[in-house]
Structure 1
């Protein structure tokens, strides 16, 4: 898909970010989880306070994928202490790449992924890592196709359920 523009998300974009974050997360995971767990997660993790706090964190960055002026996906990357697990200053965590359902398979995720790689390379980092739900086969295949390998697993608490995330990494050096 041509004409995808990547823009850095600013604090003034808070509502837009909340909207795309809630919609893409819901569309991706609602079919596999209870309504109660989904509602609890969305309310806690995408509240105005939570998202504003993430936007203000200098060790995290958000980017929108724009197509014809509309937000169609977004990326969140973390450095050092903002990383959810490893907090390695030689790595970049891709915490989120989410794309609206209508744009899946149209290279939006690939463009966002390349933005994450560009950031890591510009900072001379050694590797990129992420956690992905083992049941999200579309995402697991996407990362494998892009050279990521599994190195560990961890438990992700989703409401009253425990789910397994695959920890994956790609060396840059």
Structure 2
């Protein structure tokens, strides 16, 4: 299996939109109504929003390819780009998503290791992420790699308020 990670730029916008929409839909469509899902996908993965995120110096995206096929992606944030202001020592893993047909291949670990390398390169000492309280598989994975639940925050899917666990890890 040939695994490749590339830094995403505005030149990769179409790939990022595609993988972002597909992985989010696969992961959460069964637990959310169609209207909320459609609205979220249109807003979160719009050309304008993703272009702004890609141009933000405090955000970084990496695309994951397996045998030259786009399989997933990673997004990390520092400083002002973090969705919760936990401080300058922190880096946020905002997204680790992998298409379902690539699950159970160790790719989540590949993206997590990449996030840790980025954090160390940026001289961050703590990593945090938010994970939906009902996403038991992701929670188990994060706990396995050393994250601990340290709080909660709200995530809105349309009008539906959902609770995310905030999980942190000391480097």
Task: Give the superposition deviation at 1:3.
Answer: 2.1
Task: Give the superposition deviation at 1:126.
Answer: 1.0
- TM-score for the superposition, normalised by structure 1: 0.97
Residue 148 (structure 1) aligns with: 147
Task: Give the superposition deviation at 1:153.
Answer: 0.7
Query: How many residues align structurally?
Result: 171
* C-alpha RMSD of the superposition: 0.8
Residue 15 (structure 2) aligns with: 16
Structure 1 unaligned regions, length at least 5: none
Matched position secondary structure for 1:135: coil
Residue 108 (structure 1) aligns with: 107
- TM-score for the superposition, normalised by structure 2: 0.98
User: Deviation string for 1:39-69 (max 9, x for gaps)?
Assistant: 0100111111111111010100000111111
Structure 2 unaligned regions, length at least 5: none
Matched position secondary structure for 2:156: strand
Tell me how far apart the structure 2 counterparts of residues 124 and 155 of structure 1 sit (CA, whole Å): 28
Structure 2 contact 6–64 (Cα < 8 Å) conserved: yes
Matched position secondary structure for 1:113: helix
Task: Give the superposition deviation at 1:87.
Answer: 4.8
Task: Give the superposition deviation at 1:124.
Answer: 1.6
Counterpart check, 1:167 vs 2:159: no
Tell me how far apart the structure 1 counterparts of residues 30 and 97 of structure 2 sit (CA, whole Å): 16
Where in structure 2 are the equivalents of 1:21-170 lying within 5 Å? 21-170=20-169
User: Deviation string for 1:53-98 (max 9, x for gaps)?
Assistant: 1101010000011111111010000010100002521111000000
